[in-house]
Amino acid sequence: MTALRTLRMTSPTHTVLEGGGFPVRRPTSMGSLMSPFLLLDEMGPVEWGPGEAIGAPAHPHRGFETVTYMLKGAMQHQDSAGNSGDLNPGDVQWMTAGRGIIHSELPQDDFLKAGGTTHGFQVWVNLPARHKMMPPRYQDIAAETIPKAQSEDGKVWANVIAGSTLGVEAVIDTVIPITYIHMKIKKGGAHRQNIDAGLNAMIYVFGGTVHLSGKPVRDGQLGLMNDGSEVLFEAKKEDAEFLLLAGPDINEPIARYGPFVMNTREEIQQALRDYQNGTLA
Ligand code: MN
């Protein structure tokens, strides 16, 4: 017995400047409706001249995960757990801050010198209370090792970052079951996607318009779904490109202060103390 997920609501995005002046598109209303996701930023697209590109110098995190997916441009990562790596187009960095990490997310040296376009996503995934203080974990997945899927008619393409689609399973290990799929549907194409009932599910459209079980979700809109076990995506009048995100509603209190996301004020104060006295990471 399958129940079709319908469109619950759409949220527009607004453009804000992050980390020293980096323009991002961000849904305007999110909150608990997006659980377990805390934030969805489309970074750019932004064109940098030589020497202009900016990023985020060293800063701390505790209690959740940051997932960075590059489409264009190049970033370099370095953190207090000794991890470092470049993020090139198609690469994903799944960084679990857990009990604490201090990292920098900066333009890669050659990219900074030459300039160019940066486009990508950063999604914050919350951790349940029992995992918030887990040891930090870093998964750096190169574009060529992220499984791709395609429909038989060639009209549906997917980059399977987490979860599964079209019979293809992701390689990234997630703490809680997460679906994160970059999908492109050519005009006239359609795709039925299973999503376990009970999970929160949403799409973020960043090209064209996709019909979600019959209702349009347009470029720059977040479309939240009602419950059900599958959803129908159709690109009716133009090609469509979007992220599909799904995961369990964590349904715990959230205490959030800047780069720390915990359950109580006391835990936030502890994180600040730990950061100040150098024991966060
Ligand atoms: Mn960060």
In a domain, 280, yes or no: no
Asked if residue 148 belongs to a domain, the reply is: yes
In a domain, residue 259? The reply is: no
pLDDT of amino acid 58: 94
Ligand 1 centroid to residue 26 C-alpha, Å: 16
SS (H, E, C) the chain: CCCECCEEEEEEEEEEEECCCEEEEEECCCHHHHCCEEEEEEEEEEEECCCCCCCEEEEEEECEEEEEEEEECCEEEEECCCCEEEECCCCEEEEECCCCEEEEEEECHHHHHHCEEEEEEEEEEECCHHHCCCCCEEEEECHHHCCEEECCCCCEEEEEEECEECCEECCCCCCCCCEEEEEEECCCCEEEEECCCCCEEEEEEEECEEEECCEEEECCEEEEECCCCEEEEECCCCCEEEEEEEECCCCCCCEEECCEEECCHHHHHHHHHHHHCCCCC
Residues of the chain with pLDDT > 90, as a percent, come to 93
**How close is the Cα of 59 to the center of ligand 1, in Å?**
6
The predicted pLDDT at position 21 comes to 81
> How far, in Å, from the CA of 166 to the mean position of ligand 1?
32
As a whole number of angstroms, the distance between CA 18 and CA 15 comes to 10
Per-residue model confidence as pLDDT tens digits over 73-88: 999 999 999 999 999 9
Supply the pTM of this predicted model.
0.96
Distance 122 CA to ligand 1 centre (A): 9
Q: Which residues face 18 on adjacent strands?
A: 22
Per-residue pLDDT of 176-229, as tens digits, reads 999 999 999 999 999 999 999 999 999 999 999 999 999 999 999 999 999 999
Ligand 1 center to residue 235 CA distance, Å? 34
| C-alpha 124 – ligand 1 centre gap (Å) | 9
How far is the centre of ligand 1, averaged over its atoms, from the C-alpha of 76 (Å)?
12
Q: Does residue 112 lie within any of the structural domains?
A: yes
Q: Is residue 54 part of a domain?
A: yes
Q: Is the pLDDT of residue 147 over 90?
A: yes
Domain count, the chain: 1
In sequence order, what are the residues at sequence separation of 6 or more whose Cβ sits closer than 8 angstroms to the Cβ of residue 269? none
Distance 86 CA to ligand 1 centre (A): 15
**Inside any domain, residue 109:** yes
CATH no. for residue 29?
A: 2.60.120.10
Could you tell me the distance, in angstroms and rounded to a whole number, from the CA of residue 156 to the centre of ligand 1?
Answer: 32
Residue 183 maps to a domain: yes
Domain range spanning residue 89? Answer: 7-247
Tell me if 13 is assigned to some domain.
yes
What is the reported pLDDT for 160? 98
